[in-house]
Structure 1
Amino acid sequence: WLMIPIVLVFGALQGVFVEWIGVRPAIKIKSEFGWIMSTIALAIIFKNVAENIWGKDDLPFPSPLSGAPFQIFGANVQPMQVLVVVGALAIMLAVELFNRKSIYGKAVVATSNDRDAAGLMGINTSVVITFSYALSSATAAFAGVLVAPLTLTGATMGAALGLKAFAVAIIGGLTSGMGAIVGGLILGIAETVTGFYISTGYKEVPGLLLLLLVLAVKPAGLFGKTAIKKV
């Protein structure tokens, strides 16, 4: 439990570093895709550094809760799995309340919608962007702590989960917290049903099909809002 705040602080500092090295230079030169390529490059560097320090093998991560499962409607559930769900809901609720109720959260939303207009309204957009990267990185670090006892720990543990999270965000809507929850439930149920009735080798297929279907029919996602901008 004492390790969690340390991980959060480290995650926030890493987010600040990524924004400073990989994002800010691209924003200054008005590069549309430069920050995407630079952050991908940093991700590869971080992975290689971690593998050289701790090795390429996945390592067990201690669970703060008992590993003995209990039954819910006939299904065996581990206490850590419940903690993952509760922790995810808690952090999503906290971010949603921060964005909707606090003046700083509203500054983040305004900057994400229109950085130039937010700057004209007196918002220090560079500070807001740095804070956003710190918050997102700390959130990812917290998520890693939650799932590590269930998935083992390694330099590549976030790759598969990140792809699923991306699919969930697209299905539910990138701008909707409720959409992320519903999208996650849809993807999880689809994968479980496919693995049970067809084959575990096809578990990943429903997510990709759902992603393609949503992009074709409703690109903004099930709960996302289509933005209209004047050009």
Structure 2
Amino acid sequence: MLVGGHESRYGRAFGGLPGATVTAVGRDLHALTRRPAVVVPMTLGRDPGLAHQIAQILRWNGRGREPGELLLAPPLGTTAHLVGWLRAAAGRATGPAPAPPAGPRAVLVTAPSASAEDDAELFRVARLVRQHSGLRWVEVAFMDGDPDVAEGVARCRLLGARHVTAVPASFAEPSLPEGVSWAGPLLSAASLEELVGRRVETARERWDRDADDGLAAAHHHHHDHSH
């Protein structure tokens, strides 16, 4: 079971994955986990509270049931993963083959807006992408926040970029102004399916080896992050 937060428009931005059910935290997740399930928090690293929210529902639904019926897998990604994925996407967008258009280029990292803390974290991520990729400009824009995508593109052009490529830090695709290239999705369908499979396998191995359903780890991680 795949559970999405703001990065996927609460699951609405996912394509289908074979054998997977997609939902969001709330009433639907509560209903769907009345039967055995392995639940994967579908965050790319910008929704650190998602696993904790899922764990609360799974703990409630697990009362009086056989241990191990509900397993919480590790999140799909962390901010470290996100930096690496964005660097790879930016490299594909501006790399030598096929040759990009001549002239200064900028990458605009796009995502749905979230909390002030999560949005601020994306600026830090973009800074790391720029530092480790050799790109001159890596800017940030939010689909429904400040700065929005049009403002982000305008900033890139004011800085001197002749070509702007939007790279997603989410599962959602923004509406782009004319002349802006799109380098999404961040993860191909095959890569996404492989990653989900790994997280599910980790959850099952952890249960078989240590009788660990992942719920306590999600609680402690959220507590540490909030402090």
Structure showing the higher strand proportion among its residues = 2
The structure with more helix, counted as a fraction of residues: 1
TM-score calculated relative to the size of structure 1: 0.31
Normalising to structure 2: TM-score of the pair?
0.31
